[in-house]
């Protein structure tokens, strides 16, 4: 028969091991997720070459996960992947993993666990400090969107926050902070887990006749290259409809463009065109530069570099994005900015995609007034 003293000791031992197991789980989350990350969904790329086909191949996902903390050949072989060697070679050529000594590691920073939590606290604080300037910026945009009020989110994110002018201003401020002239915010890849719910990106395509187009994307939106391919195919008809305020006649073009809401119910183009010679374009440019500078004025580069354990150039690229996402979230929470549902939620009608696309029309003074009196309003 077990006496009370023995039962008490058994309980103590049980509590001790339970505590150790709980502690082990916490450590596990901090260094290696208990569940596999779908790396392609949380991978970020800023102007850096990567083998996208290799990245999105789900057969490579177990390899990328085990490389989060570094893995030697023996560990990788336990995955039971038959063509492991060829996959490792592809992943290395694609700038996704690298071999350091006998260990394979991700070829880019991975931010998760405790590091991710600490970063989020800093991001929220910085975003709150920049928010008043972002509110003013958003309100300054609205008068230039008459007839295109639904484009506000796209303009705030892709035309201002994520524009080359904003990045140039951020880069200039970083040079001042570090007192170095050879600083450049070049290509950077990184893994952020979990991703910010307001995460977004901008694809710019320069192969159209009328000028570049910018497409805002998120994990929930149609794939930008597919949308771009459609626009490019029917560019002439779409732009002619915009300039002349006349419906498209070609049935194939109407069907393809209507899928993304690029024509209205009367088959007339409703694309948002920003003329580079317009007042709106000048205002957007000034606000964009001002925003990039403002973010960096509240950016603690040294602190972020130490926290993420990466060079300052990479830290700025990564954290700048996160600050912008958080500002978008805070603007939305204050009902200052409506974020289209197609950005935030899966399986939303693709006809809302037109709210995430703009044409940058490059014109000279001789063409400045073209189309001004048409219903296809130009800014």
pLDDT of 376 strictly over 60: no
So what's the pLDDT on residue 35? 77
Residue 39 DSSP label: H
Q: How would you classify residue 10: left for phi > 0, otherwise alpha for psi between -120 and 50, otherwise beta?
A: alpha
More confident residue, 6 or 142: 142
Q: How far apart are CA 87 and CA 104, in angstroms?
A: 12
Q: Predicted confidence band at 21 (pLDDT cuts at 50, 70, 90)? A: very low
What string of DSSP letters covers 128-174?
A: HHHHHHHHHHHHHHGGGGTT-GGGHHHIIIIIIITSHHHHHHHHHHH
What confidence tens digit (pLDDT) does each residue in 328-370 have?
999 999 999 999 999 999 999 999 999 999 999 987 543 333 3
Q: What is the mean pLDDT of residues 208-212?
A: 92
The token pair that represents 338 in the structure block: 């409506």
What confidence tens digit (pLDDT) does each residue in 216-244 have?
999 999 999 999 999 999 999 999 999 99
List of domains in the chain: 39-108 (1.10.10), 113-367 (no CATH)
Q: Predicted confidence band at 210 (pLDDT cuts at 50, 70, 90)? A: confident
Residue 361 DSSP label: E
Q: How far apart are CA 75 and CA 336, in angstroms?
A: 51
Q: pTM of the full predicted structure? A: 0.87
What confidence tens digit (pLDDT) does each residue in 113-167 have?
999 999 999 999 999 999 999 999 999 999 999 999 999 999 999 999 999 999 9
Per the prediction, the chain carries an average pLDDT of 88
pLDDT of 15 strictly over 90: no
Sheet architecture: strand order including 43-46:
43-46, 188-192, 110-111
So what's the pLDDT on residue 48? 83
Q: What is the mean pLDDT of residues 77-100?
A: 97
CA dihedral 119→124→130→133, nearest 10 degrees, is: 140
- pLDDT > 90: percent of the chain: 83
Q: Which three-class secondary structure string do you get for 258-321? A: HCCCCECCCCCECCEEEECCCHHHHHHHHHHHHHHHHHHHCCCHHHHHHHHCCCHHHHHHHHHH
So what's the pLDDT on residue 33? 52
Least confident of 252-261, 281-290, 366-375: 366-375
Q: Predicted confidence band at 34 (pLDDT cuts at 50, 70, 90)? A: low
Q: Predicted confidence band at 326 (pLDDT cuts at 50, 70, 90)? A: very high
pLDDT of 25 strictly over 90: no
Q: How far apart are CA 303 and CA 106, in angstroms?
A: 23
CA 193 → CA 35, 304, 375, distances in Å? Answer: 12, 17, 45
So what's the pLDDT on residue 186? 82
Q: How far apart are CA 161 and CA 375, in angstroms?
A: 29
So what's the pLDDT on residue 362? 83
């Amino acid at each position: 028969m077990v006496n009370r003293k023995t039962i008490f000791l058994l309980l103590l031992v049980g509590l001790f091991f339970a505590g150790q197991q709980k502690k082990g789980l916490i450590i596990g989350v901090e260094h290696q997720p208990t569940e596999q990350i779908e790396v392609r969904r949380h991978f970020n790329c800023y102007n850096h070459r990567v083998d996208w086909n290799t990245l999105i191949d789900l057969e490579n996902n177990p390899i990328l996960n085990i490389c989060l903390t570094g893995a030697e050949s023996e560990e990788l072989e336990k995955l039971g992947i038959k063509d492991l060697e060829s996959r490792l070679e592809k992943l290395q050529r694609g700038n996704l993993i690298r071999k350091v000594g006998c260990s394979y590691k991700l070829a880019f920073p991975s931010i998760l666990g405790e590091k991710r939590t600490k970063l989020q606290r800093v991001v929220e604080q910085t975003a709150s400090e920049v928010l008043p300037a972002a509110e003013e910026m958003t309100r300054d945009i609205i008068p230039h969107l008459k007839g295109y009020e639904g484009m506000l989110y796209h303009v705030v994110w892709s035309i201002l926050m994520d524009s080359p002018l904003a990045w140039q201003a951020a880069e200039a401020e970083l040079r001042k902070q570090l007192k170095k002239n050879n600083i450049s915010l070049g290509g950077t890849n990184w893994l952020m887990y979990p991703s910010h719910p307001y995460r977004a990106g901008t694809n710019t395509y320069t192969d159209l006749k009328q000028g570049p187009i910018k497409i805002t994307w998120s994990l929930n939106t149609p794939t930008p290259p597919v949308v771009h391919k459609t626009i490019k195919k029917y560019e002439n008809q779409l732009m002619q409809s915009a300039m002349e305020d006349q419906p498209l006649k070609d049935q194939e073009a109407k069907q393809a463009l209507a899928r993304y809401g690029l024509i209205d119910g009367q088959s007339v183009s409703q694309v948002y065109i920003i003329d580079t010679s317009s007042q709106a374009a000048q205002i957007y440019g000034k606000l964009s530069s001002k925003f990039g500078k403002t973010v960096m004025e509240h950016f603690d580069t040294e602190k972020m570099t130490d926290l993420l354990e990466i060079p300052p150039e990479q830290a700025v690229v990564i954290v700048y994005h996160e600050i912008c996402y958080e500002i978008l979230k805070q603007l939305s929470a204050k009902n200052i900015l409506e974020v289209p549902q197609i950005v935030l939620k899966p399986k939303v009608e693709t006809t809302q995609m037109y709210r995430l696309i703009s044409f940058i029309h490059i014109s000279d003074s001789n063409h400045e007034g073209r189309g001004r009196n048409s219903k296809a309003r130009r800014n």
